[in-house]
């Protein structure tokens, strides 16, 4: 059995004023995405300008934090092993993320997952996902 380990250091994300609200909400266990007021599409990674239409009319939106695995890869040679995946959120955006707290051998494409927050080495919460077994 290959499982996610708590022994792996999580790199500190860069926090700037543009995305600070995401990390403030994450500290409270809330996962935010950005949504465009003009084209209506949600996007990830959060940024002020909509990547679809170029609009500056973007706003923070609370996400359900639920999604499905689109693709994944297990880094078994790493010490400790870890899994990365593309997760498609219920709101539409695709997130490149880590899959944690699970048996990697039970991961599957289209598997339901939900967000969990793990603390980086600079005490900033990082969004990761775990399966809904």
pLDDT, tens digit, 9 for 90 and up, residues 17-34:
999 999 999 999 999 999
List, in sequence order, every residue forming a beta bridge with 72; answer none if it has no partner.
Answer: 85
Contact 11, 98 (CB under 8 A): no
What pLDDT shows up at residue 61? 97
Number of domains within the chain: 1
Decide if 12 is inside a domain.
Answer: no
Decide if 45 is inside a domain.
Answer: yes
Decide if 92 is inside a domain.
Answer: yes
pLDDT, tens digit, 9 for 90 and up, residues 42-76:
999 999 999 999 999 999 999 999 999 999 999 99
pLDDT, tens digit, 9 for 90 and up, residues 79-128:
999 999 999 999 999 999 999 999 999 999 999 999 999 999 888 999 99
What pLDDT shows up at residue 3? 43
Decide if 11 is inside a domain.
Answer: no
Using CA atoms, how far apart are residues 44 and 40, in angstroms rounded to an integer?
13
Closest CA to 63 of 37, 36, 29, 39: 29
Pairwise pLDDT comparison (8 vs 52), residue with the higher score: 52
Report the residue count for the chain: 133
**Domain span holding position 36:** 20-131
> How buried is 33 (Cβ within 10 angstroms: 0-12 exposed, 13-18 middle, 19+ buried)?
buried
The CATH number that applies at residue 112 is 2.40.50.840
Decide if 37 is inside a domain.
Answer: yes
Decide if 48 is inside a domain.
Answer: yes
pLDDT band at 6 (very low <50, low <70, confident <90, very high): low
Using CA atoms, how far apart are residues 94 and 96, in angstroms rounded to an integer?
7
What pLDDT shows up at residue 11? 85
Decide if 4 is inside a domain.
Answer: no
Contact 109, 70 (CB under 8 A): yes
Q: Where are the beta strands (DSSP E) in the chain?
A: 32-36, 42-43, 58-62, 66-75, 82-89, 94-99, 112-119, 125-131
Decide if 26 is inside a domain.
Answer: yes
């Amino acid at each position: 059995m290959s499982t996610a380990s708590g022994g792996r250091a999580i790199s500190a994300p860069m926090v700037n004023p543009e995305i600070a609200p995401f990390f403030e909400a994450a500290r409270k266990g809330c996962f935010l995405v950005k949504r465009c007021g003009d084209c209506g599409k949600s996007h990830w990674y959060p940024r002020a300008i909509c990547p679809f239409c170029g609009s500056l009319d973007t706003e923070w939106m609370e996400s359900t934090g639920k999604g499905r695995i689109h693709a994944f890869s297990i880094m078994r040679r790493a010490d400790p092993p870890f899994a990365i995946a593309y997760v498609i959120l219920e709101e539409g955006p695709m997130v490149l993320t880590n899959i944690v707290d699970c048996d990697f051998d039970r991961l599957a494409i289209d598997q339901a997952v939900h967000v969990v927050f793990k603390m980086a080495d600079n005490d900033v919460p990082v969004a990761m996902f775990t399966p809904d077994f």
